[in-house]
Amino acid sequence: MFWSEKKKKPNKHYALLSKKLEEKKNEALEGFKEKHKEVSRWAKKKGLKTEEVVGKSAKGLAMGVATAAVALSSGTTPGTHLPNKNLENQKEINRSVTGTIEPTVKAKADVTSQVKNSLSGANFYDEKKITEELTRILNIPVKADLNGIRLNATYGIMGSESHLSRYPGDNLATHFESDIDHARYAGAGMAGGPGAWGYLVPSQQKLAAKDIEMEKYYLVAQTFLSPNWGTPEVKAWFRHRKMIVINPRNGVVVAGVLEDAGPEAWTGRKFGGSPEVINELELSKTGPHVLMYFVDDPEDQIPLGRYGR
């Protein structure tokens, strides 16, 4: 006599929930593509699939449903405590989505060609004329001096900087929000410490999406050569100061924040930028000269990153 193992019938509730979850995922994807075409274009330029961007947020939204489906299939009753790993994963997904998609959705229209044309043949030391023109085109208040404070230069060479440690112990293994970013930017290395004003946050647990963006688009300027330098108040004023950097050769504009002081005068450079800033400005293609100005944004309304994406 031959014995055969009786196959277990699939749980009907699990199958139903799985089907519904798949339908919701497809609906979300189509809706996302239709309502957020800007983000879809951004994802394409960054080498990402729209499905991958949606997937991050979809995972967070669907996690509860998916967990319920697993619970039904395994016989777990409602109210059973779930492993902490699931909760940590959801926090990571939410943090990643907040840190990458939100500023892109808020970005203004692409005005690269207008900026390039307006700066063609311009005298880059004519701060008044250039700031007035940029204010008009970008529709944001661009200034060479703000509250009576200015840098020693608004035009010069920008050098590429390493990544800053955002908190004690931050390293290349913990620094990036995705494998794509790690592959693209890890080669720049870590500075081995914080910027001139210290760490952004005291610990990894305190790291928020805003802190991630500030380090991602951090700028360096010779604040110590400012004509206003000399008091603790002025030094503190420069910290996190929002600025825009313009590549006059291609018209690309990037908004960032001051997080470090430098470079030294003997280097011949006037400014520095994070690996992400250097990449967005496309300086490797056009040359290292940039314009840098303050942005009068007391309410913190202007998102960081490349303008128009």
Q: Does residue 2 sit within a domain? A: no
Q: Does residue 299 sit within a domain? A: yes
Closest CA to 262 of 171, 149, 158: 158
**Chain position carrying tokens 């139903």:** 16
Q: Does residue 1 sit within a domain? A: no
Q: Does residue 246 sit within a domain? A: yes
**Chain position carrying tokens 């590429």:** 160
Q: 184 and 282: one domain?
A: yes
Q: 207 and 80: one domain?
A: no
Q: 26 and 128: one domain?
A: no
Q: DSSP for the chain, please give it.
A: ----PPPPPPPHHHHHHHHHHHHHHHHHHHHHHHH-HHHHHHHHHTT--HHHHHHHHHHHHHHHHHHHHHHHHHTPPTTPPPPHHHHHHHHHHHHHHHHHHHHHHH-----HHHHHHHHTT--TT-HHHHHHHHHHHH-S-EESEETTEE-S-SEEEEEE-PBPPSSTT--TTTS-SSHHHHHHHGGG-B-SS-BTTB-SSSSGGG--HHHHHHHHTEEEE-GGGSTT-SSHHHHHHHTT-EEEEE-TTT--EEEEEEEEE---GGGS--EEE-HHHHHHHTHHHH-SEEEEEEE--TT--SPSEETT-
How many structural domains is the chain composed of? Answer: 2
Distance CA 72, CA 147 (A): 62
Q: Does residue 7 sit within a domain? A: no
**Could you tell me if 175 and 163 are in contact, meaning their C-beta atoms sit under 8 angstroms apart?**
yes
Which of 49, 84, 106 is the last residue before a domain boundary?
Answer: 106
Q: Does residue 91 sit within a domain? A: yes
Q: Return phi, psi of residue 190, to 5°.
A: -110, 145
Distance CA 201, CA 259 (A): 13
Q: 261 and 156: one domain?
A: yes
Q: Does residue 121 sit within a domain? A: yes
Q: Tens-digit pLDDT profile for the chain (309 aa)?
A: 434 444 445 556 556 666 666 666 566 555 555 545 554 554 555 455 545 444 444 444 444 433 333 333 333 333 333 333 333 343 333 333 333 333 333 445 689 999 999 999 999 999 999 999 999 999 999 999 999 999 999 999 999 999 999 999 999 999 999 999 999 999 999 998 899 999 999 999 999 999 999 999 999 999 999 999 999 999 999 999 999 999 999 999 999 999 999 999 999 999 999 999 999 999 999 999 999 999 999 999 999 999 976
CATH (domain of 219): 2.40.40.10
Q: 205 and 96: one domain?
A: no
Q: What's at 80, amino acid-wise?
A: T
Distances (CA, A) of 232 to 76, 187, 189, 257, 262: 60, 35, 31, 19, 17
The residue segments making up the domain with residue 276 are 112-306
Closest CA to 216 of 280, 169, 266: 280
Which of 79, 106, 133 is the last residue before a domain boundary?
Answer: 106
Given this model, what pLDDT does residue 110 score? 84
Q: Does residue 177 sit within a domain? A: yes
Q: 284 and 192: one domain?
A: yes
Q: 161 and 228: one domain?
A: yes
pTM for the full predicted model: 0.66
